[in-house]
Amino acid sequence: MSTSRPLFTIGEIVHHAKFGYRGVVVDVDPVFGLGDDWYEQVARSRPPKDKPWYHVLVDGAQHMTYVAERHLQPHPDKTQIDHPDLGRFFSRYDGHRYILRDTAH
């Protein structure tokens, strides 16, 4: 499998082109990282497994999604995301992107 460099980074606000929600990237997998059963049941458009996939906190919701890169776009609205788990991943918002928490002790 070949891999490509991710287009989006952790803390970046993105828009899901197919489902219309916006969210913030909390993690990036260089290639598809879940099981074949999940892919068969959920990834109905069959996005490529050898491209980056993203863990995204959904704005105005309480869940996280796992999204293929081809379904994401940068989002022009840089207002803050409303999600209860933001503080678990990020320490602050700089007006454009979220800044990861410092996990070093």
CA terminus-to-terminus distance, the chain: 37
Nearest CA among 65, 101, 57 for reference residue 82: 57
The percentage of residues in the chain with a pLDDT greater than 70, rounded to a whole number, is: 94
What was the pLDDT predicted at 44?
Answer: 80
What was the pLDDT predicted at 4?
Answer: 78
**Residue 10 is which amino acid?**
I
Residue 9 within a domain: yes
What was the pLDDT predicted at 3?
Answer: 60
Residue 76 within a domain: yes
Q: Is the pLDDT of residue 68 over 50?
A: yes
Number of compact structural domains in the chain: 1
Residue 48 within a domain: no
Residue 33 within a domain: no
What was the pLDDT predicted at 105?
Answer: 47
Instruction: Please compute, for residue 3, the number of CA atoms within 13 A of its CA located in the half-sphere on the CB side.
Output: 10
According to DSSP, the β-strands at 53-58 and 72-74 are unpaired
Q: Is the pLDDT of residue 97 over 70?
A: yes
Digit-coded pLDDT (tens) for 13-64: 999 999 999 999 999 999 999 988 988 888 888 999 999 999 999 999 999 9
Which H or E run contains 57?
A: strand 53-58
Residue 104 within a domain: yes
Domain with 8 in it: 1-16+56-105
